């Protein structure tokens, strides 16, 4: 579903394009069509004016890639708005609203349903009360037991940063799988700030970090009572990101793209397409079959989201992906 404020982000991109073309007339009139040199020059001008910049990876993820169901982080929207002489994103949106650009209204349909009347007798209530009291007592006992058990835990907070640019990873899917002795692994999702807080006992803790378009990493730490929050650097999964971008962009030079894909995979690579939960099974491709499907105009793979990559000698030896239904 398209994000309700996506219309303002599209307007912001248009105004940035017009503003920058006054400085560099050679820039294409669509920001999505800017090449590497134009993007680098824009990054320098952005840094010069607002004392901050966006990474090349961010540009490809949010400008060149079609992802209409969410917006970039507000702090990035603020600096982009400041670049074109607004105080921030909120002022930009307010100005667009005064110009008559509004978020389309969604009509809510109220469905009234008549619930059957249930006659509760005094006898039925009396029978239910002991059951409810017992349930409440059990819940209280479990809560007290859990509080006692966790009272000796050490709260360990971990942040995750891009190893190339050093910035903390925000607005990305990050899962931490904690490996526990004599228990099944526990999966914990990062919060909105990109951090994970673990309840640890003194001693060693081992967990596996998986973040969208970053290579997974296994981390082992020795936990003490004076443990301080730590930032762990993750290596970007550049090949996975490029494959996702290829599947969303127009095919201009298919021979060059095929050559790039040939370099990404080992000759015996196995690629698995996983179907959504409402469909069963999966499909397997070898290297050549996958490259054909990704570069041929007919019956090609579009809008790919990479789930997992496995590397061997610097190349992808196994890849799992899903294809989203929205292939606009």
Highest mean pLDDT among 138-147, 161-170, 266-275: 266-275
pLDDT at 144: 65
DSSP per residue over 245-309, as a string?
A: HHHHS--S-HHHHHHHHHHHEEEEEEEEEEPPTTS--EEEEEHHHHHHHHH-STT---SEEEEEE
pTM confidence score: 0.50
For all residues of the chain together, what is the average pLDDT?
A: 82
pLDDT > 90: percent of the chain: 26
Domain boundaries of the chain, sorted by first residue: 6-98, 154-234, 238-323
CATH code 2.60.40.10 for 154-234: yes
DSSP β-bridge partners for residue 234: 162
**Taking residues 249-266, what's their average pLDDT?**
84
pLDDT-derived band at 108 (thresholds 50, 70, 90) equals very low
Gap between the Cα atoms of 87 and 94, Å rounded? 11
Q: What ranges in 55-194 are assigned the alpha helix state H?
A: 56-59, 74-83, 89-98, 122-150
Cβ burial of 132 (10 Å; 0-12, 13-18, 19+) is: exposed
Q: How much is the pLDDT for 177?
A: 92
**Distance set, CA 131 to CA 14, 135, 175 (Å):** 63, 6, 39
SS3 content of the chain, % helix, strand, coil (to 5): 40, 25, 35
- pLDDT attached to residue 281: 76
pLDDT in tens, 183-217: 888 888 888 777 888 888 888 999 999 988 888 99
For helices 74-83 and 36-50, the axis angle rounded to 10 degrees is 90
pLDDT of residue 193: 72
Residue 23 · residue 84 · CB < 8 Å = no
Q: What are the backbone angles phi and psi of residue 288, rounded to the nearest 5°?
A: -65, -40
């Amino acid at each position: 579903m398209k994000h309700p404020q996506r219309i303002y982000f599209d307007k912001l991109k248009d105004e940035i394009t017009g503003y920058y073309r006054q400085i560099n007339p050679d820039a294409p009139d669509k920001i999505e069509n800017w090449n590497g040199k134009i993007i680098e020059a824009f990054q320098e001008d952005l840094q010069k004016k607002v004392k901050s910049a966006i990474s090349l990876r961010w540009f490809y993820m949010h400008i060149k890639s079609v992802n209409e169901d969410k917006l970039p982080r507000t702090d990035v929207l603020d600096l982009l708005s400041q670049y074109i002489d607004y105080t921030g994103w909120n002022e930009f949106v307010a100005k667009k609203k005064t110009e008559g650009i509004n978020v389309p209204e969604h009509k809510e349909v109220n469905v009234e349903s008549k619930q059957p009347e249930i006659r509760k007798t005094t006898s039925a209530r009396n029978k239910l009360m002991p059951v409810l009291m017992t349930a409440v007592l059990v819940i209280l006992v479990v809560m007290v037991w859990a509080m006692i058990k966790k009272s000796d835990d050490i709260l360990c907070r971990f942040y995750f940063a891009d190893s190339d640019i050093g910035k903390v990873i925000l607005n990305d899917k990050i899962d931490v799988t904690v490996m526990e002795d004599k228990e099944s692994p526990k999966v914990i999702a990062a919060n909105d700030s990109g951090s994970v807080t673990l309840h640890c006992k003194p001693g060693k803790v081992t967990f596996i970090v998986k973040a969208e378009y970053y290579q997974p990493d296994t981390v082992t730490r020795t936990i003490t009572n004076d443990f301080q929050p730590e930032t762990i650097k993750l290596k970007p999964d550049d090949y996975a990101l490029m494959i996702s971008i290829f599947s969303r962009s127009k095919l201009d030079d298919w021979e060059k793209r095929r050559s790039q894909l040939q370099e990404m995979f080992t000759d015996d690579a196995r690629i698995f397409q996983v179907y959504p939960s409402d469909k069963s099974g999966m499909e397997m491709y070898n290297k050549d079959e996958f490259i054909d499907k990704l570069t041929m105009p007919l019956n090609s793979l579009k809008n790919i989201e990479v789930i997992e990559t496995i590397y061997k000698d610097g190349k992808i030896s196994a890849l799992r992906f899903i294809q989203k239904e929205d292939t606009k």
